[in-house]
Chain A
Amino acid sequence: MTELSDDLLVAYVDGQLAHKQTSALEKVLAQDDVIARRVVTLKDAHRRLEAAFEAILAGEEADAAAQPVPRAPGLFIAWDTLVKGGVAAAGIVIAAGLLLAGYGWPLAAPEFAGRPAAMETVASLPPDWRKEVARAQALLGRASLEIGVDSQSNPDFIAFQLGQAVGSELTPPDLTAQGFRFTRAQILTFGGEPLAQLLYLGRSGAPLALYVKKGGKSAAPQVMRHEAITGIAWSQGGVGYFLAGESDEASLLRLAEAVRSE
Chain B
Amino acid sequence: MQAEELYDSIRAGLIAMLPRLKRFADLLTGERRAGVALLGRALKYMLAEEHRYQRGTALDLWAFGEIYQLWLKELRDHADPLGRAETDDASFALLFPKGSGETFDTFTAGFLRGLPPQQRLTLLLVYGERFDHIEAGHVLDVTPETIGARLVRITASLADQLREGVTVPASAANAPIEGPR
Partner of A59, one of B33, B97, B152, B156: B97
Do residues A48 and B158 form an inter-chain contact, with CB atoms below 8 A?
A: yes
Chain A positions 11-59 with a Cβ under 8 Å from a chain B Cβ? 11, 13-14, 38, 41-42, 44-46, 48-59
Let me know if A253 is at the binding interface, CB within 8 A: no
Q: Whole-angstrom distance from the CB of A142 to the nearest CB of chain B?
A: 14
Give the number of A-B contacts (CB < 8 Å): 122
- Is the CB–CB distance between B96 and A52 below 8 Å? yes
Structural contact, B19 and A151, CB atoms closer than 8 A: no
CB 8 Å contact bits of B40-62 with A (1 = contact, 0 = none): 11011000000000000000000
- CB contact under 8 A between A64 and B19, given known A45-B158, A54-B128, A56-B96: yes
Question: Which residues of B sit under 8 angstroms from A169, Cβ to Cβ?
Answer: 37, 40-41
- Whether A10 is near chain B, meaning CB under 8 Å from some CB there, is yes
| Cα–Cα distance between A59 and B155 once the two chains are bound (Å) | 24
Inter-subunit contact A163/B40 (CB<8 Å): yes
Contact with A along B130-158 (1 / 0, CB 8 A): 00000000000000000010011001101
Interface flags for B80-108 (1: CB within 8 Å of A; 0: not) read: 00000000000000011100100111011
Q: How large is the interface on A (under 10, 10 to 19, 20 to 34, 35 or more residues)?
A: 35 or more
| Given contact pairs A48-B162, A160-B39, a sample of 16 additional A-B residue pairs in the complex whose CB atoms are under 8 Å apart | A11-B148, A41-B163, A44-B162, A45-B155, A48-B105, A49-B127, A49-B158, A53-B127, A56-B95, A56-B97, A56-B128, A58-B97, A64-B19, A156-B43, A160-B43, A169-B40
Most chain A beta carbons < 10 A, residue from B15, B22, B44, B112: B22
* B127 interface neighbour in A42, A46, A163, Cβ under 8 Å: A46
B contact residues vs A (CB 8 Å cutoff) = 15, 18-23, 26-27, 33, 36-37, 39-41, 43-44, 95-97, 100, 103-105, 107-109, 112, 123-124, 126-128, 148, 151-152, 155-156, 158-159, 162-163
| B123 contacts A160, C-beta separation under 8 Å | no
Mask: chain A, 141-182; 1 = CB below 8 Å from B; 0 = not? 000000000010011110110011000010100000000000
Q: A7 touching B152 by the CB < 8 A rule? A: yes
Chain A residues with Cβ under 8 A from B18's Cβ?
Answer: 60, 64, 154, 156-157
Contact sample, A vs B, 17 pairs, CB 8 Å cutoff: A10-B155, A46-B155, A48-B108, A52-B105, A53-B124, A53-B128, A55-B100, A56-B96, A58-B97, A58-B100, A59-B95, A154-B15, A156-B22, A156-B36, A156-B43, A171-B37, A171-B40
Q: How far is the CA of A198 from the CA of B100 in the complex (A)?
A: 30
> CA A159 – CA B19 in complex, angstroms?
14
- Asked if B23 contacts A52 (CB within 8 A), the reply is no
A45 touches B159 (CB 8 A): yes
List, in ascending order, chain B residues with CB within 8 A of A41's CB.
159, 162-163
Minimum C-beta distance from A256 to chain B (A): 20
Instruction: Tell me whether A57 and B128 are in contact (CB under 8 A).
Output: yes
Nearest-Cβ distance from residue B140 to partner chain A, whole angstroms: 16
Whether the pair B162, A45 counts as a contact (CB closer than 8 A) is: yes
Q: Are B158 and A51 in contact (CB under 8 A)?
A: no
Find the residue from B18, B26, B95 having the highest chain A CB count within 10 A. Answer: B18
**A61 interface residue (CB < 8 Å to B):** yes
CB atoms of A60 and B23 under 8 A apart:
yes
| Shortest Cβ distance from A162 into B: residue | B40
Q: Contacting A14 at CB < 8 Å: which of B107, B112, B151?
A: B151
Interface centre among A45, A63, A164, A169 (most CB of B within 10 A): A45
Q: How far is the CA of A235 from the CA of B19 in the complex (A)?
A: 32
Flag whether A62 is at the interface (Cβ < 8 A).
yes
> What's the minimum C-beta distance from A39 to chain B, rounded to whole angstroms?
9
Question: Is the beta-carbon distance between B156 and A151 smaller than 8 angstroms?
Answer: no
A248 at the interface (CB under 8 A from B): no
**Which residues on A sit within 8 Å (CB–CB) of B159?**
38, 41-42, 44-45
Residue of A nearest to B94 (CB): A59
Residues of chain B lying within 8 A (CB to CB) of residue A59: 95-97, 100
